[in-house]
Chain A
Amino acid sequence: MNDLTPPAPAAGCSATPVLKERGQHEVFCGLTGIIWLHRKMQDAFFLVIGSRTCAHLLQSAAGVMIFAEPRFGTAILEESDLAGLADAHEELDREVSKLLSRRSDIRQLFLVGSCPSEVIKLDLARAAERLTQKHAPHVRVLNYSGSGIETTFTQGEDACLAAMVPVLPETDRRQLMLVGALPDVVEDQMLDLVRGMGIEDVCVLPAPRAEAEMGVGENTVYALTQPFLGDTHAALTRRGARHLPAPFPFGEEGTTAWLQAIAREFDVPQERFEAVTAAPRARARKAVARAAQPLDGKSVFFFPDSQLELPLARFLTRECGMQAVEVGAPFIHSTLMRDELALLPDGQVISEGQHVDKQLDRCRAASPDLTVCGLGLANPLEAEGLTTKWAIELVFTPVHFYEQAGDLASLFARPVRRKDLLQLEAAE
């Protein structure tokens, strides 16, 4: 369809054996997804049923994001709730009624399961049904689990979206659904590109509001903008929708390939595709070339965090001239990652899961130029002399599609540049 894409490597990583590890995982649980999901879905409230630990986690992760009335909270289980289960449901109903009477603007309420509520087997699915009936039609109550025992970090978004799919209305419309929560500015660019190719019937999951008209059915095709949406992918397939496999829209190459998959499906003429993408592609290439200079020839090591690792490693190796040492992901969905693995040059370790101490040993031995890891590891590794990029920022910052490609490269380049700039040791 176009001749500008760099050729795929001879083999790629499709056949590379994946190192699977068990042990201590230094990762967030799925509850963390609430922090960005609640900003995206403006009429939703996320009620975690959990312990003080869960509330403390949300607070620590939300950091300075203090809102007059944040649309999330934790119903903290107390001693009495653990004594008898019947009681817990009454308690939950009471807290929900209290909450909804205070917040009349709420249209969707998510009961979010946590480790404690899963372990005591509190039936939140039943609670959601009961509460939906009680508060219909004003409020729709759904449930999903963001527990650490079941979900890692961004999988919380997957679980949330997957819970929404079964209740979407049925539609026969031939439409394109774009799945994954993106920053508003990125979402607008994405929609402009897609509509620019002449595709009019487009919807985005999650929508900013519950009443946004959206259905799903056999004539729906969907593309994923985020790599961590395995369960949502399965739920959409169950509703008869068809997936458009593609690399994820990071960098110029990823964005173009992602758009191409859609263009192919909707028979967009080559000239039109070129007209829409040529200018932003050139811009993206220029921006990346400039921003990625400090990264050229450097090595990178990814600790598992968000499932964005493989697409990002592909971007860094193919567009920024880096060499990957190890790419760790909390979970690798072989179907969704097929295109990414095919593009990723061979030669690095690909690992799934984690044994953090062993992985740290490998990282120290490799002494990479840049280590992408969580905040619990970043400062300790800096103190050991390694340069780090904390991974969580990649989930909160606009990084997808053409206009952000340069910013994405900068996120990785900045710590490398800073290392060169700082002269902290006394000259001798």
Chain B
Amino acid sequence: MKLTVWTYEGPPHVGAMRVATAMKGLHYVLHAPQGDTYADLLFTMIERRNHRPPVTYTTFQARDLGSDTANLFKTAAQEAYDRFLPEAMIVGASCTAELIQDDPGGMAETMGLPVPVIPLELPSYQRKENFGADETLFQIVRALARPCEKTARPSVNLIGPTGLGFRHRDDITEITALLDDMGVDVNVAAPYGASPSDLTRLGAAHANVLMYPETGEAACRWMERELSLPFTKVVPIGVGATHDFVRELAGLLGITPRLNESRLRLPWYSASVDSTYLTGKRVFIFGDGTHAMAMARVARDEMGFEVVGLGCYNREMARPLRAMARDYGVEALITDDYLEVERAIEAAAPEMILGTQMERHTAKRLGIPCAVISAPVHVQDFPARYSPVMGLEGANVLFDTLVHPLVMGLEEHLLTMFREDFEFHDAAGPSHHGGHAPLAVGGSEGPAPHTPRGISEPEKIEPAPGGEVIWLTDAERELRKVPFFVRGKARRNTEAFAAERGVAEISVETLYEAKAHYAR
């Protein structure tokens, strides 16, 4: 047993639902107790789908336990077929049904349904959501894909985009356009938007583009072996990776690499002087392996940040991520415990976090700017506007995503710095609204000091525990001038510096000696 509050991934049958919901003409019959339908709302609410996920739940209850659950399954499967007339069905068990051992695959086989019925074995007590998606796609592809005549023009399949995927919808559009510029067609994008009959044509492509290793790698490996379809290893997130991807794919297809950079703005934006302050910003990166690794490269090589932490929650990607972390001189963090991530972030004291929803909340708590770069995500990260992360428009999107929280951080800092300024405070009102609000009558003391909101709240400067180190008033005042997002670190460093040297009182002098000592 393991005590858990937040989980980065759902159970594996949710991964299977992500595949089924992404597809058309496929129906999933899930042997599951009442209540497991909660997962429907991930699709209808977070992804805002306008149809119910194509999933039928057997909804067994306590009184059914015993022999009846098997009949329930058969009835549900038959009714689902009769009602939805899918081209193919997948059948499987959720965690509870796994325990009662009804064997949905075997039962479905005996029913003699007139369409392919693909059984799924998803070990709920060992594996998780991404595995479920990967395995489901693999099983469907294995059941349906057959060798077939190649398309006349060079074409590829896009493998891995699913329901509930972080920006999968727009990544497909972006990569399709990028391929079009190279003269390459998309044969099938799967599972997103594909039907079972589409999957029978997978073999007509000349290669596979593995968009998301987490959800498409097993299928790509199988097609490489059985259909002789090579697949791309570079995930085109960021400018450099997109270039590498285009070269890699051109090599696989034997064509000239071509990339239309007319709308690419990240390199110039990043080179422009306004971006100089980004240099060496310390970032902590956590997410699924693919996005975390891609973002590390973008952060270091394209934004000029310093990567001070790199990790992922899915063990399937542990090995490549460890290798990358070694290259970047940081220790890889492989964990699905958000508290461990929080501890690592606190220890690394970054100036910015790139992570998931959980890290967004951690960042809020720690008062550190943050951008979301990976699932699990919330409804706001299924935006209405076009926002891929792949390809060249994806790079533009990433520049904005990574800079905005920092600009806002700087803004907050300036507001805090100038909060006692006579013409720049809350009560003054915005300057474009006809000048400043009049000061309160008799306000010889000036406006009441306002309380800054949220993360800019100046923290209380308390003496270190045990009273070993005391902050002198001047030093305290000087510390307040340090930008809030590094103030905590400056305080810790100074205290550590003082303690090391046996200094009992921190003066302005000590503060700056410490600063010089820790200077990079």
**Complex contacts, A70 vs chain B, CB 8 Å:** 5
Say if the beta carbon of A276 comes within 8 Å of chain B: no
What CA separation (Å) do A148 and B33 show in the bound complex? 6
Are B58 and A66 closer than 8 Å at their CB atoms?
Answer: no
Interface residue stretch chosen among A182-190, A228-236, A374-382, A417-425 = A374-382
Say if the beta carbon of A201 comes within 8 Å of chain B: no
A78 is contacted by which of B1, B5, B361 (Cβ under 8 Å)? B1
A377 is contacted by which of B1, B38, B48, B52 (Cβ under 8 Å)? B52
B447 → chain A, closest Cβ, in Å? 33
What CA separation (Å) do A79 and B125 show in the bound complex? 5
Say if the beta carbon of B95 comes within 8 Å of chain A: yes
Q: A24-B37, A75-B1, A377-B52 are in contact. Are A115 and B96 (CB under 8 A)?
A: yes
Say if the beta carbon of B128 comes within 8 Å of chain A: yes
Are A29 and B1 closer than 8 Å at their CB atoms?
Answer: no
User: Looking at B34, B36, B57, which has the most chain A CB atoms within 10 Å of its CB?
Assistant: B34
Are B59 and A150 closer than 8 Å at their CB atoms?
Answer: no
Interface string of B78-96 (1 = CB under 8 A from A): 0100010000000000111
Within 8 A of A (CB), among B3-31: 3-7, 9-11, 13-14
Are B125 and A60 closer than 8 Å at their CB atoms?
Answer: no
A117 → chain B, closest Cβ, in Å? 10
Q: A29-B33, A77-B1 are in contact. Are A24 and B56 (CB under 8 A)?
A: yes
Say if the beta carbon of B51 comes within 8 Å of chain A: yes
Are A26 and B125 closer than 8 Å at their CB atoms?
Answer: no
Interface string of A57-74 (1 = CB under 8 A from B): 101110010101010111
Are B41 and A60 closer than 8 Å at their CB atoms?
Answer: yes
Are A29 and B35 closer than 8 Å at their CB atoms?
Answer: yes
Interface residues on B, range: 35 or more
Within 8 A of A (CB), among B48-102: 48-52, 56-62, 64-65, 76, 79, 83, 94-96, 99-100
Say if the beta carbon of B450 comes within 8 Å of chain A: no
Are A28 and B35 closer than 8 Å at their CB atoms?
Answer: yes
| Total of A-B residue pairs, C-beta within 8 Å | 172
What CA separation (Å) do A74 and B2 show in the bound complex? 8
Within 8 A of B (CB), among A70-129: 70, 72-79, 81-82, 88, 91-92, 94-95, 98-99, 115-116, 118-120
Are A149 and B11 closer than 8 Å at their CB atoms?
Answer: no
Interface string of B197-233 (1 = CB under 8 A from A): 0000000000000000000000000000000000000
A318 → chain B, closest Cβ, in Å? 31
Are A379 and B49 closer than 8 Å at their CB atoms?
Answer: yes
Q: A68-B365, A78-B2 are in contact. Are A31 and B44 (CB under 8 A)?
A: no
Say if the beta carbon of A56 comes within 8 Å of chain B: yes
**Complex contacts, B50 vs chain A, CB 8 Å:** 379-380, 382-383
**Complex contacts, A47 vs chain B, CB 8 Å:** 3
B59 is contacted by which of A25, A30, A31, A49 (Cβ under 8 Å)? A25
Are A383 and B10 closer than 8 Å at their CB atoms?
Answer: no
Are A119 and B76 closer than 8 Å at their CB atoms?
Answer: no
Say if the beta carbon of A367 comes within 8 Å of chain B: no
Grouping DSSP codes into helix (H, G, I), strand (E, B) and loop, the A interface class, with mixed when no group exceeds half, is helix
Q: A149-B60, A149-B96 are in contact. Are A60 and B42 (CB under 8 A)?
A: yes
A56 is contacted by which of B14, B58, B65 (Cβ under 8 Å)? B14
Grouping DSSP codes into helix (H, G, I), strand (E, B) and loop, the B interface class, with mixed when no group exceeds half, is mixed
Say if the beta carbon of A371 comes within 8 Å of chain B: no
What CA separation (Å) do A228 and B417 show in the bound complex? 55
A132 → chain B, closest Cβ, in Å? 19
A375 → chain B, closest Cβ, in Å? 4
Are A376 and B2 closer than 8 Å at their CB atoms?
Answer: no
Are A76 and B2 closer than 8 Å at their CB atoms?
Answer: yes
B307 → chain A, closest Cβ, in Å? 26
Say if the beta carbon of A52 comes within 8 Å of chain B: yes
What CA separation (Å) do A60 and B10 show in the bound complex? 10
Say if the beta carbon of A154 comes within 8 Å of chain B: no
For A73, the closest partner residue in chain B by CB is B5
A76 is contacted by which of B1, B62, B64 (Cβ under 8 Å)? B1
Are B44 and A357 closer than 8 Å at their CB atoms?
Answer: no
**Complex contacts, A94 vs chain B, CB 8 Å:** 1
**Complex contacts, B248 vs chain A, CB 8 Å:** none
What CA separation (Å) do A60 and B39 show in the bound complex? 8
Say if the beta carbon of B45 comes within 8 Å of chain A: yes
Are A53 and B44 closer than 8 Å at their CB atoms?
Answer: no
Are A74 and B99 closer than 8 Å at their CB atoms?
Answer: no
User: Looking at A23, A31, A52, A57, which has the most chain B CB atoms within 10 Å of its CB?
Assistant: A52
Are A380 and B2 closer than 8 Å at their CB atoms?
Answer: no
Say if the beta carbon of A343 comes within 8 Å of chain B: no
**Complex contacts, B38 vs chain A, CB 8 Å:** 28-29, 32, 57, 60-61, 376
Are B2 and A59 closer than 8 Å at their CB atoms?
Answer: no
User: Looking at B11, B95, B128, which has the most chain A CB atoms within 10 Å of its CB?
Assistant: B95
What CA separation (Å) do A320 and B492 show in the bound complex? 62
**Complex contacts, A31 vs chain B, CB 8 Å:** 35
A77 is contacted by which of B13, B94, B125, B128 (Cβ under 8 Å)? B125
B426 → chain A, closest Cβ, in Å? 27
What CA separation (Å) do A357 and B61 show in the bound complex? 18
Q: A56-B11, A357-B79 are in contact. Are A24 and B124 (CB under 8 A)?
A: no
What CA separation (Å) do A115 and B49 show in the bound complex? 28
**Complex contacts, B100 vs chain A, CB 8 Å:** 119
Say if the beta carbon of A27 comes within 8 Å of chain B: yes
For A102, the closest partner residue in chain B by CB is B3
Are A152 and B3 closer than 8 Å at their CB atoms?
Answer: no
A116 is contacted by which of B6, B56, B62, B96 (Cβ under 8 Å)? B96
Say if the beta carbon of A410 comes within 8 Å of chain B: no
Q: A52-B10, A75-B3, A357-B83 are in contact. Are A115 and B44 (CB under 8 A)?
A: no
B461 → chain A, closest Cβ, in Å? 22
Say if the beta carbon of A51 comes within 8 Å of chain B: yes
**Complex contacts, B11 vs chain A, CB 8 Å:** 51-53, 56
**Complex contacts, B37 vs chain A, CB 8 Å:** 24-27, 376
Are B65 and A76 closer than 8 Å at their CB atoms?
Answer: no
Say if the beta carbon of B244 comes within 8 Å of chain A: no
Are A24 and B96 closer than 8 Å at their CB atoms?
Answer: no
Q: A24-B76, A25-B59, A51-B95 are in contact. Are A148 and B36 (CB under 8 A)?
A: yes
What CA separation (Å) do A265 and B1 show in the bound complex? 50
**Complex contacts, A79 vs chain B, CB 8 Å:** 125-126
Interface string of B333-371 (1 = CB under 8 A from A): 000000000000000000000000000010001000000
Are A52 and B61 closer than 8 Å at their CB atoms?
Answer: no
Say if the beta carbon of A147 comes within 8 Å of chain B: yes
Closest 4 pairs (CB-CB, A-B): A29-B35, A148-B35, A376-B40, A383-B50
Knowing that A56-B11, A56-B39 touch, tell me 8 more A-B residue pairs with CB under 8 angstroms. Answer: A24-B37, A26-B40, A51-B95, A53-B96, A60-B38, A119-B65, A147-B33, A377-B52
What are 12 A-B pairs with beta-carbon distances under 8 A?
Answer: A28-B38, A53-B36, A57-B35, A59-B7, A60-B41, A79-B125, A82-B125, A95-B1, A95-B3, A147-B35, A375-B41, A379-B45
